[in-house]
Amino acid sequence: MPHGTSRRSAFTLIELLVVIAIIAILIGLLLPAVQKVREAAARSQCTNNLKQWALAMHNYHDVNQKLPLAENRTPRVTFYVSLWPYIEQTALYNQYNLTLGFYQAPNAVANSTTGLIATPVKTYYCPSDRPGAIWTADQYYRARGNYVVNFGSELLFTPTPPADGPFGWTSSGGYGGYVPYQKTLVGITDGTSNTLMMSELRLPQTDNAPDVRGDVFNDQGMHWFMAVNTPNAGVDQSSVDCPATAAANPDPTMICTKGGANWASARSRHTGGVNAALCDGSIQFFSNSIALSTWQALSTATTGEVIGAY
């Protein structure tokens, strides 16, 4: 060995284990912070999407002097199609045949994602959920969506007293005979800043799940929420498509069962609450812990309740 040089011994096994342990600790400390940043970004994008829907509602109202129908029975179509021109989807709207049901070509193409309503538009989805989700539980493939309208605090088929959300039905008759109504912003006498317009609804875990939540192009799908319970609470119900029993649902945090009440709580994958648009176009985050009386007062349009703190 030349004079004045020394040889550095290799790392011992203990030293390597110590280094690996330190790296693992640092990763463990960093990962939650990264996840929080990602969720904050996703929640911000979700808020932006909801803002686009609220602006679309206002632009539709400016042109038509009323809010769109949440859905129509003849032909079978929902507000998603009505608002296409106002969320930069004019090309889809111009190709859609408004004299046909959502399930007929070119609106939908059997067993194919080439139908107009099967196009997964970014504005449909909250990034915290399942962007790009579609419905494949029957042959009429269609996009799902996270953003739904407020039907007030009453059950769908049995509104007592009559439904008083910004959207809803004047009478039921079941899915074969419902009569929807349209409100004006001026007609929301509780005040547009005191009335919910839209909120989030969580999507099922798979595209082929027979679960109508977020089935937003189907007039019999859940493109609504009701304030029967506070956000992210309760067991949803559908007479059309939901797991037959609570035990059959693969996601215990969003149970939906077969039943005739046909209602759904506002739900999200954000921690602690949901994003919602008020009828004045503003967006707020509402906590799961909001008082039920306050949440229900916010869901009605003309009943004059005093809104508590939230």
Q: What is the arithmetic mean of pLDDT over 152-159? A: 83
Torsion angle of C-alpha atoms 84, 87, 88, 94, degrees rounded to 10: 10
Sign, CA dihedral 13-15-20-21, equals positive
pLDDT one-digit tens code per residue, 263-309: 999 999 999 999 999 999 999 999 999 999 999 999 999 999 888 78
CA distance 64 to 185: 12
The pLDDT of residue 28 is 75
The amino acid present at 306, given as its one-letter code, is: V
67, 167 contact by CB (below 8 A) = yes
257, 244 contact by CB (below 8 A) = yes
- Partners of 237 in beta bridges: 257, 263
Domain coordinates in residue numbering, the chain: 49-299
Q: Report how far apart, in Å, the C-alpha atoms of 195 and of each of 70, 185, 242, 305 are.
A: 16, 10, 29, 11
The pLDDT of residue 38 is 74
- Whether 119 has a pLDDT exceeding 80, the answer reads yes
- Whether 25 has a pLDDT exceeding 90, the answer reads no
The pLDDT of residue 34 is 53
The pLDDT of residue 123 is 98
CA 152 to chain centre: 16
Q: Is residue 1 very low, low, confident or very high in pLDDT (cuts 50, 70, 90)? A: very low
Question: 131: cis peptide before it, omega within 30°?
Answer: no
CA distance 266 to 146: 10
